[in-house]
Amino acid sequence: MMRHATFRQLEIFETIARLGSFTRASEALFLTQPTVSMQVRKLSDAVGLPLYEQIGKRIHLTDAGIELARTAREIIDALERMDMSVAKMRGLQKGRLRLAVVTTAKYFAPMLLGEFSRNHPGITLSLKVTNRERVLERVAENLDDLYILSEPLGQHDLVARSFMENPLVVLAPPGHPLARRKQVTLDLLAAEPFLMREPGSGTRLAVEELFAEHGLKLNVRMELGSNEAIKQAILAGLGISVLSRHVLVDGKGRGDPVILQVQGFPIMRHWHVAYPQGKQLSVVAQLFLEFLLAAAEKSNAASGAAVSSLAGKARPPVTKVRS
Ligand code: PGA
């Protein structure tokens, strides 16, 4: 019976589920592998069903295992929230903030975390940077406190607040023949060798949507899994691409690609800070959310401050998104 399971067993199992391996879980928890295996066996007995299958070195959770990992996560989260609330009652600001952001957000998220951390030194931070598809998987698995991504519409049951513009621009190497044109048509762009982000990227999705709307097909020369790699490939003359303006140092920095003036561009996306509907935010997550929105607001007013090009106040502050 589940009542016989211990908190430690649940914590061990949640770590295995999250890291996908007994070895990594035992390292993370500073336990020996036999201890981890024994505790999981006891837990499996308490549930009365197998919790995982092992194929090669990989662990695959069974349906019971997935359900148990989710429950364990909820229990651990609830206790962490309790810890943070108690710390707050004592006048302390302690706790942990787990943030997962899409790749382009890495250009501004560390700066925001730096400022937040200076104001709240007692808070430990973790930042996961990955593509849109993987961020949405993490939302479904409830792995983090808050998420930063563009246009979460129609994806999941999310509460999302828009806080900054994310313009996608067409980038070419300096001196590219199209750089002299005042207005480049989409057909002309479609003929150029194009450097595309990997499947699962939100940037790629936006580009594909725009070209599909116009019945055009891109001439994809190469697929690359990182904004920085694409930027370097553009400079190396391998092709042009569409990336967030955030990848440029200041929009006119030396050694940066140049922005082409193309019909339909920039594709104006908006950064959102989001969390699953019904999720109870911890004291620390709430604090960061408020900090982020206040920083956006301040920068918006000052326009040109560190967090630049902020979303207009005309946008609705709260977007409830249902799939
Ligand atoms: P990506 O997401 O890093 O997955 O391309 C960026 C975005 O959604 O704008």
Angle at 237 between CA 233 and CA 240, to 5 degrees: 70
Burial of residue 175 (CB within 10 Å: 0-12, 13-18, 19+) is exposed
Query: Do 142 and 190 reside in the same domain of the chain?
Result: no
Rounded Cα–Cα distance for residues 247 and 226 (Å): 11
Query: Do 185 and 68 reside in the same domain of the chain?
Result: no
Query: Do 263 and 280 reside in the same domain of the chain?
Result: no
Q: Which residues pair with 60 in a beta bridge?
A: 53
Yes or no: say if 282 and 126 are a contact pair by the CB < 8 Å rule. no
Over residues 173-184, the mean pLDDT reads 92
Yes or no: say if 145 and 99 are a contact pair by the CB < 8 Å rule. yes
Q: Can the peptide bond before residue 257 be classed as cis, meaning omega within 30 degrees of 0?
A: no
Rounded Cα–Cα distance for residues 192 and 218 (Å): 8
Q: What is the CATH number of the domain that holds 235?
A: 3.40.190.10
Rounded Cα–Cα distance for residues 248 and 228 (Å): 10
164 pocket-lining for ligand 1 (C-beta < 6 Å): no
Report pLDDT for 306: 38
Final residue before a domain boundary, out of 74, 102, 125? 74
Number of domains in the chain: 3
Nearest CA to ligand 1 atom 3: 103
Query: Do 144 and 180 reside in the same domain of the chain?
Result: no
Q: What is the DSSP string of 193-206?
A: EEEEEPTT-HHHHH
pLDDT digits (tens, 9 = 90+) for 191-239: 999 999 999 999 999 999 999 999 999 999 999 999 999 999 999 999 9
pLDDT digits (tens, 9 = 90+) for 7-25: 999 999 999 999 988 999 9
Which one of 101, 129, 131 would you pick to mutate in the ligand 1 pocket, going by the greatest count of ligand atoms within 8 A of its CB?
131
pLDDT band at 322 (very low <50, low <70, confident <90, very high): very low
Over residues 75-103, the mean pLDDT reads 87
Q: What is the CATH number of the domain that holds 11?
A: 1.10.10.10
In a domain, 87, yes or no: no
* Percentage of the residues of the chain whose pLDDT score is greater than 90: 64
pLDDT digits (tens, 9 = 90+) for 140-172: 888 999 999 998 776 668 899 989 899 999 999
Range of the domain at 288: 93-165+269-321
Query: Do 67 and 131 reside in the same domain of the chain?
Result: no
Over residues 100-111, the mean pLDDT reads 91
In a domain, 80, yes or no: no
pLDDT digits (tens, 9 = 90+) for 229-255: 999 999 999 999 999 998 987 555 567
In a domain, 82, yes or no: no
Which amino acid belongs to residue 249?
Answer: V
Query: Do 284 and 223 reside in the same domain of the chain?
Result: no
In a domain, 85, yes or no: no
Yes or no: say if 285 and 275 are a contact pair by the CB < 8 Å rule. yes
197 pocket-lining for ligand 1 (C-beta < 6 Å): yes
pLDDT band at 177 (very low <50, low <70, confident <90, very high): very high
Enter the pTM of the model: 0.77
Query: Do 152 and 276 reside in the same domain of the chain?
Result: yes
Rounded Cα–Cα distance for residues 187 and 209 (Å): 15
Final residue before a domain boundary, out of 42, 74, 106? 74
In a domain, 79, yes or no: no
Q: Where are the alpha helices (DSSP H) in the chain?
A: 7-19, 22-29, 33-47, 63-89, 109-119, 132-141, 186-191, 202-213, 227-235, 283-302
Query: Do 301 and 170 reside in the same domain of the chain?
Result: no
pLDDT digits (tens, 9 = 90+) for 129-146: 999 999 999 998 889 999
> How close is the Cα of 302 to the center of ligand 1, in Å?
26
Evaluated on CA atoms 84, 135, 273, 114, the torsion sign reads positive
pLDDT band at 127 (very low <50, low <70, confident <90, very high): very high
